[in-house]
Structure 1
């Protein structure tokens, strides 16, 4: 059974909606464009993300937390809502499948080297389906605990790596053109736009009017942690290494040590990242199921969770088995689809609401 979540829990959900895969995928892409100026692209993408959060929060506020597709159907027609729902369902199925593939690729490359990919997919999916069946309130509670653990892991990481850091790796600053910084900020902007999951979490918010605040707080926290991860990796290895490394953040974690007594602590940070990515995957699976429920107007989605999980698993195994294809999609293809569904769709819903409200006022004046 799904209970209600407060604004703080919603903000924490936004953090783990974005951060786990962003810290793995983005550093390499950003560094190829901006090198030591990569932190500036994070700042630019954060500004764009805050605008997206304002749009999403406004859509939730004017709908008063109503199910998004149901509200769109009331403002337009059930047919329009169904067609939009089908497109959005495809979008969330694809996105959830790519998250699962990034999760599996990381585990396969760094932890379980000899375990078949199919076994990893099945195990991860079964655990996540169990999490989703407990409801969004349970996910939010566990997520809040994981977020609070940043207060332990971030200082531990910093203190263990501080002697390996060289500030000269960040120089010269402002060495890249605005065009390069803009190109570097496009991909992280797509990750920031994932704040739009709040559209489908809105019915479970205790105070939907504060959805915008939840989005802003979550994105600012994501920006701080992304800058922390990126800057520390740059100061340890320099921009050239980051461009060549598959997982620069975890490479930096690999050199964390405290004297000669505690070293090789990367497995500790990897374990924490696994907790975070499980929560991200569960949030997107929940949102996918919620989109399915609103599209087909079913009262309960529990009988369909397994079927949707199977579709996601098959797409993960067969559509995204080519790593180069997935990397190309992350670098060039995500922006268009994410901009369409995470920005233009809620913006169009807001415009439709305002047009209808203006017409209603005009009719009242005429009568």
Structure 2
């Protein structure tokens, strides 16, 4: 059921829009550039993300929570809206396919080593389509429960690692110049810019005027958890290990032990991460379907969810079958694409709104 979702629920959706893949992909990329100064890069990317959230929130405030492409159509023309919709649909199809591939790669490498990739893709896709068909309201409720579990897992994680933490692995601090810190912050900034999914969630917000607060709250929560995860991994292993490990966060989890009677809790944390990544994939599939619905102006998107899911699965299997290619895209190509659609498109929408508003004022003065 696609009912309205509250401000807190929407903020929690923003958290799981970003965090699951960020905790897997970003530590290696960040530490390659800034090593023990990696937390500074998280701070820089968070500031950039807060700016993106402010831009997106301004668009939603100007449109009063109307469907984004319908609002663009009203302010410009059907041709502009359709072209923009097609471009954004391609963007969300690509992004959702990369999320699916990252999900599959992790499961293949760490859990179901002998299972064929195509079986994993089909299984994940069917479950996610079922989730999306339940509607954004149900997704938001489940997502809120998953987020609340952080208050169980974070203390358990910290308590289990306490004896292995070494603050000397964070030294020397401020050892990298601004250029290196900026390079390290570019990729996490692209993840922070995923707050732009609010453009397509806006029609379902109970209070769309609070979109900025929703984005800021979600990003600050993401930043705090990313800092916690990265600092604990650095203190446990040091920056040299993080640069070589494929999944440093889960390597950290793998050594957790509580006394002499509880150990090897990594499967518990992996199970929780799987819950989170399912929700992230579902959120992006939902946004992709919404973009399709607004672009082609169909009254119901439910018949098209399966078809869009099939396109995503095919791109996942054939475009991103190389892990090296995907890692290179995340490291070098992602920033440009995400900056274009998550920053420049909302900025252009604001400019369009201002121009039309000024024209209306001029016409009012002339009459």
Query: Match of 1:113, SS?
Result: coil
1:1-367 pair list within 5 angstroms: 1-367=1-367
Gaps of 5+ in 1: none
How far apart are residue 267 of structure 1 and its match?
A: 0.4
Superposition TM-score, scaled by structure 2 size: 1.00
Query: Per-residue CA shift, 1:146-182, capped at 9, x if unaligned?
Result: 0000000001000000100100000000000000000
**In structure 2, C-alpha distance between the alignment counterparts of 1:362 and 1:354, rounded to whole Å:** 12
**In structure 2, C-alpha distance between the alignment counterparts of 1:175 and 1:50, rounded to whole Å:** 26
**In structure 1, C-alpha distance between the alignment counterparts of 2:332 and 2:6, rounded to whole Å:** 35
Superposition TM-score, scaled by structure 1 size: 1.00
**In structure 1, C-alpha distance between the alignment counterparts of 2:250 and 2:353, rounded to whole Å:** 46
How far apart are residue 228 of structure 1 and its match?
A: 0.3
**In structure 2, C-alpha distance between the alignment counterparts of 1:305 and 1:287, rounded to whole Å:** 11
**In structure 2, C-alpha distance between the alignment counterparts of 1:307 and 1:133, rounded to whole Å:** 13
Gaps of 5+ in 2: none
Query: Per-residue CA shift, 1:7-55, capped at 9, x if unaligned?
Result: 1000000000000000000000000000000000000000000000000
How far apart are residue 96 of structure 1 and its match?
A: 0.1
**In structure 2, C-alpha distance between the alignment counterparts of 1:274 and 1:53, rounded to whole Å:** 26
How far apart are residue 133 of structure 1 and its match?
A: 0.1
**In structure 2, C-alpha distance between the alignment counterparts of 1:229 and 1:247, rounded to whole Å:** 12
How far apart are residue 363 of structure 1 and its match?
A: 1.3
Query: Match of 1:272, SS?
Result: helix
How far apart are residue 362 of structure 1 and its match?
A: 1.2
Query: Match of 1:186, SS?
Result: helix
CA RMSD of aligned residues (A): 0.4
